[in-house]
Amino acid sequence: MPIARLPRRPDAVRKGKFAALLADERGATMVELAILAVPFFAIMGAIMETAVVFLASQFLDSAVQDASRLVLTGQAQADAGFTLDSFRTSVCNELYGMFDCSKLQIRVSTVDDFASAHPAPPLDPKDPTKWTLEQSFLPGAGMQVVMVQVYYKWPVILNFGGFSLANSPDGTRLLGAVRVFANEPFSSGSAAG
């Protein structure tokens, strides 16, 4: 006579279903993707934002270099209508639309010599959201030492738990370009072209 089997206990049934669930590998790729997607896209976003910030910084530096040549060669001084806004436009023309040019902080001033060319911090140390840089355009005469300062607060998008490129409490990163040079020996009435 065959031996009668006793019905399985409910906990044994549960253990069997759990073991079967653990052994089932369907959907494993989806679970792995879900686990890895967040850090992967966070790293990709951080890499892209870092690249854009450095690209913007290079564009600003190059634009200030090119615009400063107008002062260095005396072209800006020869044009009586060349003002701070004209210099801003010269810088802005080289920025490829990446910047809001109305927010550029610009100061062109003469200094006694190269040793005394110390740019002051453009932001208030007590409240880094406020500018302390007085905007001006004083390009100097031939052979004078000139300091050109241009600053911009670049908006930072990504912030991962305190890891951000922002260096200001308003969520921006200060970008700046400074040039110090001696003007060419042009006369006040004419300039080299």
- pTM of the shown model: 0.80
Which class for 188: exposed (0-12), middle (13-18), buried (19 or more C-beta within 10 A)?
Answer: exposed
Rg of the chain taking only CA atoms, in angstroms: 31
pLDDT score for 2: 65
pLDDT score for 193: 46
Per-residue pLDDT of the chain (193 residues; tens, 9 = 90+): 566 665 555 555 556 777 776 777 787 888 888 899 988 998 899 899 999 999 999 999 999 999 999 999 999 999 999 999 999 999 999 999 999 999 999 999 999 999 999 998 999 989 988 999 999 999 999 999 999 999 999 999 988 777 788 988 899 999 999 999 999 998 765 544 4
pLDDT score for 62: 98
pLDDT score for 138: 97
pLDDT score for 36: 93
Tell me which residue has tokens 């089932």. 24
pLDDT score for 91: 98
Question: Going along 25-133, which residue ranges are E strands?
Answer: 105-111
pLDDT score for 18: 73
